[in-house]
Structure 1
Amino acid sequence: MRWNWQQPDWPAFTFDPAPLAALEARLLHESGRLFGAFAHLDETEQRRLTIDCIGDEALMTARIEGEYLDRDSLQSSLLCQFGLAYDERRVPPAEAGMAELMVDLYRRFQAPLSHDTLRAWQAMLMRGRSDLDEVGCYRRRAEPMQVVSGAVYAPRVHFEAPPAALVPAEMERFLAWFEHTAPAGAGALPPLTRAGLAHLYFVSIHPFEDGNGRIARAIAEKALAQGLGQPTLAALSHCIERHKKAYYAALQRANKGDPVDDWLNYFARTTLDALDYSRARVGLLIVKARLYDRLKGQLNPRQEKVLARLFAAGPEGFRGGLSAENYIALTRTSRATATRDLQDLVAKGALTRSGERKHTRYALQVPATPGQGSDSMALFSYRRIAPHGDRRSRLTVKVRSQAILA
């Protein structure tokens, strides 16, 4: 017996809930901070951030599988799906299908999971594909469904799913388990635990010819949203994609049998990292709104363009920091003008300066509220740490802002 579904006790996943308790508590705390930060935004900003977050997750969940969608087309389709705009451009089928799935997931997170829902999601993801025989239905081919890598003449099998003949019964059992472990179910599980197990359970069955990974992550998002009572807008796929090898390695270990503590620990920490990243995005948007309000009418077009580029870089920041050379390249201006513009932004409290000469770099800053001391300042940061103690993949990005998200 090589795979988890071949074990005698399948699908009775075994794990120790004690180490997860602290992570479950952190989920409730961090999600509360995210929802609280979100409330600081006005309705227009909330709507824009929601679409941006959904769009980024759609791009990243596809990218994990090696599919690169067009951002503009996806955003256009999302705006249409939410009824916020009508764009006459022709959106490619892949982007339109992904947008439809993400909006359905966002709007109907409380709805029960069903065969029809899963089949519809897969059909959305496969829209425009002509290379598949089985779209919008569970696989029926007798050939083994394998996850492989390497050369054709020497393939490496990472996983083999249950035979197609077993899929209908396995999916019936999976859906019953998902309902049983729901917040109102008889065997309710904490959100992180349920979401992690749901992802692993579904992807182990691998019921579709293609799209299983993307649907597994959508199911995990649904489980988290049901556990928290609202869509999380957590950047789960964003954080998974940043450490894709760790994701596949954790899945590969879990696919070989119980216990699944390692997978649940990986999934929980990645989800918490995703919440942290999303909260940093909200904080950055608040910083942007306050900065623009304070400097209204005081910025020239070049300065506005560069500040917009800094904010667009998101919580991970401008790669390598903003230098005078970056400013010149972005604005196509002279060095003397760039120097004056940057010095002016520092004087206005929009940027801080560090380093000297060719090592001079600039970063965003928002000053303390008038009448308050520097103690009112907080270091708002996003820290991404690779799973399983990979210290080489450590990134800390810091933006100075008022202590509004504590």
Structure 2
Amino acid sequence: MAVGNDDAVLRGKPALIAANAAAKVVYAAKSADNDRMKSGDCQYIWQARDWPEWRYDLAALAGPLVEVGRAQGMLLGRLTDVGFSLRDQASLAALTEDVVKTSEIEGEQLNVESVRSSIARRLGVDIGALAPVDRHVEGVVEMILDATANYQAVVTSERLLSWHAALFPTGYSGLARIRIGAWRDDANGAMQVVSGTVGRQRVHFEAPPAETLEIEMRRLLAWINAAPNEPPLIRAGLGHLWFVTLHPLDDGNGRMARALGDLLLARADGAPQRFYSLSAQIQRERKSYYDILERTQKGSLDVTEWLAWFLATLHRAIDQAQVTLDSVLAKARFWQRFAGVPVNERQIKLINRLLDGFEGKLTTSKWAAIAKCSSDTALRDLSELQSHGILQKSTAGGRSTSYELAEPE
């Protein structure tokens, strides 16, 4: 039985296994195929006679499509008014969140500052001092940026497999050696998603046999690269669903599916810059994501319910981008206000952390740890910012003195 890290089995986290099981989408057939499923002849959607002839009620989705379009228009309208520099900052924030959250869904915690630095360097956005970046972070960033910045390029097997190689630069997922640069071969058994402890495991999904993948992937890629017959946002939802149905890789299928969805969303937007993150919204709504995929797994080729959920979640992702834009604008106003105040790199770094939403209380010891300086230097930094009216002592109680951004007069 072959299971990848996206299934969380190698990490030994049963809760993640059960959750991510739904992300490896399976299907059952409709109409006559539903009868076959009830009789036990057809368990998964890829076994349907008319697979993959997707069906959906466009009339039922018309309203959500209009609402998402309106939300996109409002966001882009605001971005048009803020200028190139702030648009770059908003895009940097969205891409950083996208990279961090697509990994977090799979139980992997990436360093936010490293991700932000990697993206900023590639986009040419000035964020001051850059944080160190490891090869794993670079790989995820490479995949997301290729998917979005090069959204118009043809999607080929070689391109998808290069994403996979970027995700696993060592050829290992955890301690397990995995196939890189090729589709899975099922050498150790069928690709299954399971949950539960050894001896009490439950199979949530079994992917199509490996010997069918060459044909299946050619069909998917031909559809992606063909002139669209569906509304662009519908294609994004179908592409995400189709890829995770095939589950063509030893590991990384969830992240690859979301990157492919980002590519199709960029095509829908007609622009390479990303200002919202669907992956971040999926991470915030993990339970409903898993629930709808679980229902879709054993439903029919009519995927109207999945597409309705996809569009509603996309709408909320765009609404959340408005909040991110508010934060970008607030940060810009802050630095304009203190443009004449001399600050060092440590102070810039910590102030930006506060502006981005610092968790907990900022004390001298925390400043020293984050800025990698002595306690005396941290205290001097804090005192200088206090004298400039940038920081003030927090009124909240506690054993140690803490600091917060000063309220504007």
Q: Which amino acid aligns with 2:164?
A: Q
How many angstroms apart in 2 are the aligned matches of 1:58 and 1:9? Answer: 36
TM-score, normalising length: structure 1: 0.72
Deviation, 1:296, is: 5.4
Question: Do structure 1's residue 167 and structure 2's residue 213 form an aligned pair?
Answer: yes
Q: Match of 1:21?
A: 62
Q: Match of 1:372?
A: none
Question: Do structure 1's residue 197 and structure 2's residue 241 form an aligned pair?
Answer: no
SS in 2 for 1:169: helix
TM-score, normalising length: structure 2: 0.71
Cα distance change, pair 62–283 in 1 and its aligned pair in 2 (3 A): same
Q: Match of 1:312?
A: 356
How many angstroms apart in 2 are the aligned matches of 1:88 and 1:357? Answer: 32
Q: Match of 1:381?
A: none
Cα distance change, pair 34–327 in 1 and its aligned pair in 2 (3 A): farther
Deviation, 1:280, is: 1.8
Q: Match of 2:13?
A: none
Q: Match of 1:30?
A: 71
% of aligned pairs identical? 33
Q: Match of 2:183?
A: 138
Deviation, 1:195, is: 0.9
Q: Which runs of 5+ in 1 are unaligned?
A: 368-406
Q: Show the 5 A alignment for 1:3-402.
A: 3-82=44-123, 91-130=133-172, 131-142=176-187, 143-180=189-226, 184-185=227-228, 187=229, 189-231=230-272, 232-258=274-300, 259-294=302-337, 308-309=352-353, 311-313=355-357
Contact 2:281–2:313 (8 Å) recurs in 1? yes
Q: Which amino acid aligns with 2:180?
A: V
Contact 2:104–2:283 (8 Å) recurs in 1? yes
Q: Which amino acid aligns with 2:186?
A: R
How many angstroms apart in 2 are the aligned matches of 1:236 and 1:261? Answer: 19
How many angstroms apart in 2 are the aligned matches of 1:175 and 1:200? Answer: 14
Q: Which amino acid aligns with 2:214?
A: P
How many angstroms apart in 2 are the aligned matches of 1:269 and 1:21? Answer: 12
Instruction: Report Cα offsets for 1:350-369 as digits up to 9, x if no partner.
Output: 99xxxx999xxx999999xx
Q: Which runs of 5+ in 2 are unaligned?
A: 1-41, 368-374, 398-403
Give the root-mean-square deviation of aligned CA atoms: 3.7
Deviation, 1:36, is: 2.1
Contact 2:167–2:252 (8 Å) recurs in 1? yes
**Quick one: higher RCO (CA 8 Å, sep 6+), 1 or 2?**
2
Deviation, 1:245, is: 2.1
Instruction: Report Cα offsets for 1:61-89 as digits up to 9, x if no partner.
Output: 01101112222332333234335689998
Deviation, 1:12, is: 1.4
Deviation, 1:309, is: 4.9
How many angstroms apart in 2 are the aligned matches of 1:146 and 1:50? Answer: 37
Q: Match of 1:385?
A: none
How many angstroms apart in 1 are the aligned matches of 2:129 and 2:363? Answer: 33
Residue range with higher mean Cα deviation, 262-271 or 229-238:
229-238
Deviation, 1:264, is: 1.2
